[in-house]
Homo-oligomer: A and B are copies of this chain.
């Protein structure tokens, strides 16, 4: 191990879309690229977010030289609060990304210890044995970076999340020229975003989206209500510009959008004049044709501004005939039902609702196949490791890399927890490390796992029945009970005769078992009742038998 080498350890994002996180390591230096979260699948009842297992970083924090963030989306910065509770290290990214990081860590009471180091496109930063070059990339958030990395064993390029807008609006291009220059000295390894490898051609461009939005605003006679991802500052700028062009004022409802707009404006990434803007309170004085509203709620989140509006529960606003609602975002699959409920309710209130399915008003921020090809050809790496995708995305991206001339034996599919070491002229796959994701529920991290989730699924799916029996074997048996109560089982009014029969069953069990053997008594009560409920109702609730022997004086 004396030969120079770099070990790359993916901690998240390779095998799933979300919680992107990767460690770069030499014997002396460790740098973390991104530290994101993932939103839980529906079956993970009660889980708020999912984060990578960060033990690997925490155990090596002595050599942690810095954390480099490609951009400010939650799947790249969202797990930082859990990491920054345990380690100290400088954070490198764009001003805008770091402003989002600061806000997030402030919410977790961690702002004091922050060491934020803003960088700009084409900046260069040395972190231990690594030197990072930052290149602007176009994505569905402003100020994203791809990373050129000089290492002791050669150059690496990490795309971050990106697309290649062929006809970009001011300042939102991917810096292909910079990347080409960096690559001209030879790139050993490319990591590239696999999210959209299954989509042919090129992603729609923001110019195309703006043209669609322009058509809508031009035709609309009444108010225009727009919802979008709250960090999509470029799109928000387009909306301000269109509003100005058509003599409308923009008002805002929803905390996350208002806060992002404030940050972006302070940093000079969003431009509008006070004439172009209006407080919610001042809307009643304006004609509907003079108004654009920007709202939270693109995913049908029940407490968001748009959802409250759709239910008629917004304090300051209501929806009425003539309103045009533009949902300028994609529907994340798990949210489809919630979103379509909002759409139907808005139609019931008389609005017209436009969404991606019916009009081209959202563009993905991730490169489609032809854009991925351009990146592969621009960087022309010796080795290729696809990142940011489920297994099939990684596999298809590896195929694409081979089409673009990377040798099959040098396109490598890794998943979370599979480290790989690069030497000057060889590679070595390392033993896998523990990289299970952690479930965050409330303030707890990792105190909820598959066994607890399984219990929740049964409780949630079938409900609960508690049986209480107080016994005193010396005084001849049952002192009190059986009392039976239930939660989430069936309606009260259907319950009473069921529970009467259940009590008889418990009494039968009691008659045939030594009352001092509470363990056996409990087991038998549980199994008899489960059989009874299955037969009668076709259900299998959690049965909790409590047999309390008061002759045993244990408190």
User: Shortest beta-carbon distance, A136 to chain B, in Å?
Assistant: 31
What residues on B are CB-neighbors of A456 within 8 Å? 459-461, 463, 488
Give complex CA distance A340, B389 in Å. Answer: 12
User: Shortest beta-carbon distance, A40 to chain B, in Å?
Assistant: 11
Instruction: Return the contact of A390 from the options B333, B344, B480, B487 (Cβ within 8 A).
Output: B344
What residues on B are CB-neighbors of A441 within 8 Å? 490, 538-539
Contact A555/B481 with A343-B392, A443-B536, A459-B460 known, Cβ cut-off 8 Å: yes
User: Shortest beta-carbon distance, A1 to chain B, in Å?
Assistant: 31
Instruction: Return the contact of A198 from the options B357, B466, B488 (Cβ within 8 A).
Output: B357
Q: Which positions 322-340 of chain A face chain B at CB distance < 8 Å? A: 333-334, 336-337, 340
Q: Is A554 among interface residues, defined by CB-CB distance under 8 A?
A: yes
Instruction: Return the contact of A443 from the options B443, B487, B538, B542 (Cβ within 8 A).
Output: B538
Give complex CA distance A153, B544 in Å. Answer: 61
> Is B390's CB under 8 angstroms from A340's CB?
yes
Give complex CA distance A390, B336 in Å. Answer: 13
> Is B391's CB under 8 angstroms from A347's CB?
yes
> Is A344's CB under 8 angstroms from B468's CB?
no
> Is B448's CB under 8 angstroms from A347's CB?
no
> Is A463's CB under 8 angstroms from B468's CB?
no
Q: Is A41 among interface residues, defined by CB-CB distance under 8 A?
A: yes
How many copies of the shown chain assemble into the complex?
2
Q: Is A29 among interface residues, defined by CB-CB distance under 8 A?
A: no
Give complex CA distance A464, B334 in Å. Answer: 26
Q: Is A485 among interface residues, defined by CB-CB distance under 8 A?
A: yes
What residues on B are CB-neighbors of A463 within 8 Å? 46, 452, 455-456, 459
Give complex CA distance A357, B41 in Å. Answer: 21
User: Shortest beta-carbon distance, A441 to chain B, in Å?
Assistant: 6
Q: Is A548 among interface residues, defined by CB-CB distance under 8 A?
A: yes
> Is A488's CB under 8 angstroms from B442's CB?
no
Give complex CA distance A488, B390 in Å. Answer: 29
What residues on B are CB-neighbors of A448 within 8 Å? 490-491
Give complex CA distance A447, B485 in Å. Answer: 16
> Is B392's CB under 8 angstroms from A344's CB?
yes
User: Shortest beta-carbon distance, A485 to chain B, in Å?
Assistant: 7
Give complex CA distance A452, B461 in Å. Answer: 11
Contact A459/B464 with A333-B337, A443-B538 known, Cβ cut-off 8 Å: yes
Q: Is A422 among interface residues, defined by CB-CB distance under 8 A?
A: no
Contact A444/B537 with A337-B42, A460-B459, A491-B451 known, Cβ cut-off 8 Å: yes
What residues on B are CB-neighbors of A449 within 8 Å? 491
Classify the secondary structure of A's interface with B.
mixed
Q: Which positions 7-49 of chain A face chain B at CB distance < 8 Å? A: 15, 41-42, 45-46
**Residue interface mask A127-146, B partner, CB < 8 A = 1:** 00000000000000000000
- Nearest neighbor of A46 in chain B, beta-carbon distance: B461
Give complex CA distance A448, B453 in Å. Answer: 23
Give complex CA distance A452, B452 in Å. Answer: 21
Contact A353/B392 with A456-B460, A456-B461, A490-B447 known, Cβ cut-off 8 Å: yes
**Residue interface mask A430-451, B partner, CB < 8 A = 1:** 0000000000011110011101
Give complex CA distance A392, B340 in Å. Answer: 9
Give complex CA distance A198, B355 in Å. Answer: 11
Instruction: Return the contact of A470 from the options B41, B358, B455, B548 (Cβ within 8 A).
Output: B548
Q: Is A550 among interface residues, defined by CB-CB distance under 8 A?
A: yes
What residues on B are CB-neighbors of A198 within 8 Å? 357-358
Give complex CA distance A458, B464 in Å. Answer: 12
Contact A46/B468 with A455-B487, A490-B447, A491-B449 known, Cβ cut-off 8 Å: no
> Is A470's CB under 8 angstroms from B550's CB?
yes
Give complex CA distance A368, B337 in Å. Answer: 22
User: Shortest beta-carbon distance, A203 to chain B, in Å?
Assistant: 15
Q: Is A278 among interface residues, defined by CB-CB distance under 8 A?
A: no
What residues on B are CB-neighbors of A337 within 8 Å? 41-42, 333-334
> Is B459's CB under 8 angstroms from A395's CB?
no
Give complex CA distance A298, B102 in Å. Answer: 45
> Is A548's CB under 8 angstroms from B487's CB?
no
> Is B494's CB under 8 angstroms from A447's CB?
yes
Give complex CA distance A481, B553 in Å. Answer: 9
Give me 20 A-to-B residue pairs in the complex whose CB atoms sit less than 8 angstroms apart, sorted by A's number.
A46-B461, A345-B391, A441-B539, A444-B538, A447-B537, A452-B491, A455-B463, A455-B487, A456-B461, A456-B488, A460-B460, A460-B461, A464-B487, A468-B468, A470-B548, A470-B550, A478-B555, A480-B554, A487-B542, A487-B544
What would 14 more interface pairs be, CB under 8 Å, given A456-B460, A459-B463, A468-B546?
Answer: A41-B337, A42-B337, A198-B357, A334-B337, A340-B390, A447-B494, A452-B489, A453-B488, A459-B487, A464-B487, A466-B466, A466-B544, A470-B548, A478-B555
Task: Enumerate the 9 nearest inter-chain pairs by beta-carbon distance, A residue then B residue, closest first.
Answer: A460-B460, A442-B538, A455-B488, A443-B538, A46-B461, A456-B488, A344-B391, A459-B459, A442-B539
